[in-house]
């Protein structure tokens, strides 16, 4: 391959070796000023069978679309091009000048420089920010290791490379995709669940935690011992330069069971951020079930909120808090000696009961019976006015909810219901409407989901999307609907790109009828639709010209046949006349 020019543009100058994706090369762009370097990856092809190539081609289109999105991040190589040449698939990406993280890590204890806590935290935040973007695109990297983190020479930033192991996306084809073996260099960084095909987003978190531990200890992952009872890594020693807080974070990142790890990159980032507020002198154990607001004061008397509810990840982790700043939020009630007489208090309580039960007039009558000399009289009079306003508002909002229910506008019922004031009488009436609305919405959701699944099963992702968009936002399946919307949208784009590719292929062999049929399958709201319409007009014209030329050819053949037949008939007539003449002459002679 050295010296070979692909697409008449990318000249291979160096072999970087084989990886999960396939063979990787350094190339120069001979069409671009300065001939900049780029990375060219050749996808593995293990068969030349047409069905296998079609499957691989579709996978290639899928992954390159993903890489285009990922390449928009400034710490991920930019996507340049992808193409197929001689039944081989190539991907071209930005070449990152710099060195792999392996050059910065201590290989083993006693050699090199172990990282300190601040360096590890900075490293974690940098890479976690990249992974947060990667996961937001619906992709799991699956091969986080020092070799795939490059320190860019121009700005010193870490760049995440080699997305050849990204978890395959189920794009709805029946053929099985090739399964690649795990590289030897990845062993130790890959979590247990990934070996059995149950990769999770926090599988990347495990790998990153192992790199951080390697930086702190100088021990490679395969050199660490495993607790035979818990299967957890035993990595921390007395010589490890790290505090209890960060040690707990790292241990949480590499838990054997993925369900016991941090569940998202965002959770790890939030916990690391809490470390900025830690007071190492005083340690308080904060269980994840705790839900209260606390504050931590620093030396400059700045207060930072720390919510136990917002940080369930602090399970088993030690959080430094200033004990004297823990605010429990006690409510204080003052007892006034000049409290109202029991009978007047009882009257007001009884009026409130009547109001809540639905008898506004009786409630007002009871309040009005309170003497003007009473201590609660001013409050009682203000209560009458408030009750009248709240009652009127409740009646209006309930009427709106009831009308929406009668008309089958279930989402409107749920939107109006919270606006009904907190009056037991009206709340109970509204609750019945809400329960009915929820039941109707859930039934409607199941029906629309079934239709969406059926359409998606038939590869009609446009119709499936249309059904999903009809599902009310208030449905309990909201998370599933959003997931399926993203999935079917992706699949529809992939199929559109696939149909366009097939149209090109049919047109290349002058099968314009087939090409037009493929183009007609491309939905309107897909990125390639405009391009497909241009090609549709082009192929339709070529289709007409081809049909016209074939028709003209048939006419020419028919005319030639008629002329040939006429000549044959004339010749036969002349021969017949000659024969007759000869016979007559013979008769006369005789």
> Catalytic residue positions?
143
Q: Report d(CA 136, CA 212) in Å as an integer.
A: 23
What is the DSSP code (8-state) at residue 37?
Answer: E
What is the radius of gyration, based on Cα positions, of the chain? 39
Q: Report d(CA 456, CA 471) in Å as an integer.
A: 16
The dihedrals phi and psi of 402, each to the nearest 5 degrees, come to: -65, -40
Q: Report d(CA 295, CA 325) in Å as an integer.
A: 6
DSSP 418-477: GGS-S-HHHHHHHHHHHHHHHHHHHHHHHHHHHHHHHHHHTT-HHHHHHHHHTS-TTSTT
Nearest alpha carbon to residue 174 among 484, 457, 498: 457
Half-sphere exposure of 218 (CA within 13 A, CB side): 14
Dihedral class, residue 329 (left if φ above 0, else alpha if ψ from -120 to 50, else beta): left
Is the sign of the CA dihedral 47, 51, 53, 56 positive or negative? negative
> How distant, in Å, are the alpha carbons of 191, 206, 494 from that of 231?
12, 14, 41
Please report how the helices 342-357 and 424-457 are oriented relative to each other, as an axis angle in degrees rounded to 10.
30
350 marked as binding residue:
no
Nearest alpha carbon to residue 260 among 319, 210, 206, 216: 206
The dihedrals phi and psi of 57, each to the nearest 5 degrees, come to: -65, -40
Cβ neighbours of 328 (radius 10 Å): 7
Token pair of 569, please? 């008939």
Tell me the sheet residues that pair with 29.
10
> How distant, in Å, are the alpha carbons of 21, 24, 296, 326 from that of 300?
53, 54, 11, 17
Nearest alpha carbon to residue 536 among 551, 521, 546: 521
Binding-site annotation, residues for ATP: 41
């Amino acid at each position: 391959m050295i010296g070979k020019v692909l697409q008449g543009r990318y000249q291979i100058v160096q072999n970087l070796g084989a990886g999960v994706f396939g063979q990787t090369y350094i190339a120069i762009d001979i069409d671009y000023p300065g001939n900049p370097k780029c990375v060219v990856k050749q996808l593995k092809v293990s068969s030349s069978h047409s069905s296998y190539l079609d499957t691989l081609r579709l996978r290639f289109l899928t992954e390159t679309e993903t890489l285009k999105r990922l390449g928009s991040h400034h710490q991920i190589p930019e996507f340049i091009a992808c193409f197929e040449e001689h039944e081989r698939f190539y991907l071209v990406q930005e070449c990152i000048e710099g060195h792999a993280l392996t050059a910065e890590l201590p290989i083993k204890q006693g050699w090199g420089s172990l990282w300190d806590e601040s360096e590890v935290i900075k490293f974690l935040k940098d890479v976690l920010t990249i992974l947060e973007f990667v996961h937001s695109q619906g992709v799991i990297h699956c091969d986080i290791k020092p070799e795939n983190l490059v320190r860019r020479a121009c700005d010193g930033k870490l760049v995440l490379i080699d997305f050849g192991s990204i978890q395959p996306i189920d794009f709805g084809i029946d053929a099985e995709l090739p399964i690649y073996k795990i590289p030897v260099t990845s062993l130790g960084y890959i979590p247990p669940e990934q070996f059995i095909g149950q990769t999770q987003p926090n599988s990347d978190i495990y790998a990153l935690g192992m790199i951080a531990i390697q930086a702190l200890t100088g021990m490679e992952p395969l050199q660490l011992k495993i607790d035979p009872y818990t299967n957890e890594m035993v990595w921390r020693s007395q010589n490890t330069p790290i505090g209890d807080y960060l040690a707990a974070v790292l241990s949480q990142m590499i838990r054997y069971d993925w369900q016991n790890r941090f569940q998202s990159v965002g959770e790890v980032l939030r916990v690391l951020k809490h470390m900025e507020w830690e007071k190492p002198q005083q340690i308080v154990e904060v269980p994840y079930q705790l839900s209260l607001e606390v504050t931590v004061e620093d030396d400059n008397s700045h207060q930072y909120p720390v919510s136990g509810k917002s940080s369930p990840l602090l399970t088993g982790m030690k959080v430094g808090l200033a004990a004297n700043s823990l605010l429990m939020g006690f409510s204080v009630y003052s007892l006034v000696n000049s409290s109202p007489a029991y009978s007047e208090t009882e009257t007001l309580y009884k009026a409130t009961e009547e109001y809540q039960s639905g008898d506004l007039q009786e409630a007002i009558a009871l309040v009005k019976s309170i003497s003007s000399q009473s201590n609660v009289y001013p409050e009682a009079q203000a209560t009458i006015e408030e009750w009248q306003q709240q009652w009127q508002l409740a009646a209006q909002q309930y009427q709106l909810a009831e009308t929406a229910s009668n008309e089958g506008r279930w989402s409107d019922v749920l939107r109006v219901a919270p606006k009904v004031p907190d009056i037991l009488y009206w709340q109970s009436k509204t609750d019945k409407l809400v329960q009915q609305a929820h039941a109707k919405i859930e039934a409607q959701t199941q029906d629309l989901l079934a239709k969406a699944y059926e359409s998606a099963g038939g590869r009609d992702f446009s119709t499936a999307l249309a059904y999903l968009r009809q599902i009310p936002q208030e449905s309990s399946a909201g998370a599933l609907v959003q997931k399926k919307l993203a999935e079917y949208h992706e699949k529809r784009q992939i199929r559109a790109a696939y149909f366009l590719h097939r149209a090109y292929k049919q047109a290349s062999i002058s099968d314009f009828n087939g090409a037009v049929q493929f183009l007609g399958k491309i939905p309107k709201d897909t990125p390639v639709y405009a391009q497909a319409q241009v090609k549709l007009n082009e192929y339709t014209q070529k289709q007409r010209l081809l049909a016209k030329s074939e028709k003209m050819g048939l006419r020419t053949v028919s005319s030639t046949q008629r002329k040939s037949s006429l000549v044959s008939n004339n010749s036969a007539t002349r021969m017949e006349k000659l024969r007759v003449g000869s016979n007559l002459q013979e008769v006369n002679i005789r």
